[in-house]
Structure 1
Amino acid sequence: MASPGPVTRDLLETFDDVHSRTFACLDGLTDTEYLWEPVASCMTLRADTNGVFRADPRPAGDVRPAPFTTIAWRIWHIGADCLRGYGRFFEDESQSGDRHLWPGTATEGIQMLADDWSRFRNRVEALGDDRLLQPIGPRAGAYGHESYLLLALHALDEAAHHGAELGVLRDLYHHGFAA
């Protein structure tokens, strides 16, 4: 593969920096922390009668304040809801399966996030500068006029701000706020 152009290179460098910070803050995450509910009525992952975990769906409409979420839910959101979910905008990806299915353990959840992160990053890298700057096209519906660069920047924003929230939740847990 040829060296990436400057837009792709800088975007991936930033994406990799966010990846490093996010995964460093998840190092040593326990299952208890993963599913810790710091407030009542958290959105989280819940096991069904078969023991299969699913992420709680977001409430309809613009609910303010937004429901509080667990570390597990935020990891799911970055991985499946955002990075994997945005796969539908790439020509080689069809949207199939239930994105709400997610592992109920910290180790498996972090691995699934790593897989989704890697897949999205590789798709962005494969586009290259020219395609990054072009509109996504009809597969993106009302967003078809937007560029792949804007999609990648949106994914970067989601990963960075939710990654920071993961760090804050872990800090709260380790500083005695866990009941």
Structure 2
Amino acid sequence: MTSFGEELLAVYDNVHARLLARLDGLTDDEYLWEPVPGGWSLRPGADGVPRAEKTEPDPVPAPFTSIAWRMWHIGVECLDVYVKLAFDKFPVGVGGWPGEAAVWPGTAAEAIAELDGDFARFRARISGLDDAALAHGCGPLTEEIHVFTYLGLMFRAVDEITHHGAEIALLRDLYRHRAAVSAT
């Protein structure tokens, strides 16, 4: 008999595989493409190291974001921060937010590899929990990440990956068809 946790991990693995399949062949130009002026992307800081643009709190409405930014968001703001807050018990408010100043790869190939590693690290931590442990409290993690159990955290991860993965897929479609759109 399959446990609830195993079924949820199967969904997580499926979402992961679908996103990686949609990232296949991603070029650096497409990765950093900014279809809307004034949006957020990945930019080198004063030290030359690429970081995602971000302000707290998010402006309303939030700026349009590039594929690079969305990949960073899934990898750092979601999966990496979830591990730090829920498993490593990173103390929020001490030393800043755990995703702050996170370095993110400036090339598509390196970003895909980094994102894949973030998927694996989160999966390794969540897969170590049985169904009873999934029901245990892990939060609320922050005011923004308002989940109370590891199960809720897993649902949030799947939701974020699905939501932003769909946006990435749409941006790839728009990039591929941009010449036809601008010709009309």
TM range (shorter): 0.7 to 0.9
In 2, the alpha carbon distance for the partners of 1:97 and 1:162 equals: 17
For residues 70-81 of structure 1, the aligned pairs below 5 Å read 70-81=66-77
After superposition, the Cα gap between the structure-2 partners of 1:47 and 1:145, relative to the gap in structure 1 and judged at 3 Å, is closer
In 2, the alpha carbon distance for the partners of 1:141 and 1:75 equals: 21
Q: Return 88-97 or 52-61, whichever deviates more.
A: 88-97
- Answer whether contact 1:35 1:71 (CA < 8 A) is retained: yes
- Answer whether contact 1:71 1:169 (CA < 8 A) is retained: yes
Are 1:133 and 2:130 an aligned pair? Answer: no
Shift of 1:42: 1.2
Q: Name the counterpart of 1:112.
A: 114
Are 1:25 and 2:22 an aligned pair? Answer: yes
In 2, the alpha carbon distance for the partners of 1:59 and 1:144 equals: 17
Q: Name the counterpart of 2:94.
A: none
Percent identical pairs in the alignment equals 45
In 1, the alpha carbon distance for the partners of 2:47 and 2:79 equals: 27
Q: Name the counterpart of 1:124.
A: 126
SS at match of 1:90: helix
- Answer whether contact 2:147 2:153 (CA < 8 A) is retained: no
Structure 1 unaligned spans of 5+: none
Name the amino acid aligned to 1:69. Answer: T
In 1, the alpha carbon distance for the partners of 2:15 and 2:74 equals: 12
Q: Name the counterpart of 1:100.
A: 102
Shift of 1:152: 0.9
Q: Name the counterpart of 1:56.
A: 53
Question: What is the TM-score when the length of structure 1 is the normalising length?
Answer: 0.86
When the two chains are superposed, the root-mean-square deviation of aligned CA atoms in Å is 2.5
In 2, the alpha carbon distance for the partners of 1:168 and 1:80 equals: 21
Name the amino acid aligned to 1:112. Answer: E
Shift of 1:100: 2.9
Name the amino acid aligned to 2:174. Answer: L
After superposition, the Cα gap between the structure-2 partners of 1:74 and 1:120, relative to the gap in structure 1 and judged at 3 Å, is same
Aligned length: 174
In 1, the alpha carbon distance for the partners of 2:162 and 2:79 equals: 12
Q: Name the counterpart of 1:45.
A: 42
Structure 1 counterpart of 2:11, from 9, 14, 21? 14
Q: Name the counterpart of 2:86.
A: 90
Question: What is the TM-score when the length of structure 2 is the normalising length?
Answer: 0.84
Structure 2 unaligned spans of 5+: 92-97
After superposition, the Cα gap between the structure-2 partners of 1:141 and 1:93, relative to the gap in structure 1 and judged at 3 Å, is closer
Name the amino acid aligned to 1:136. Answer: C
Shift of 1:85: 0.6
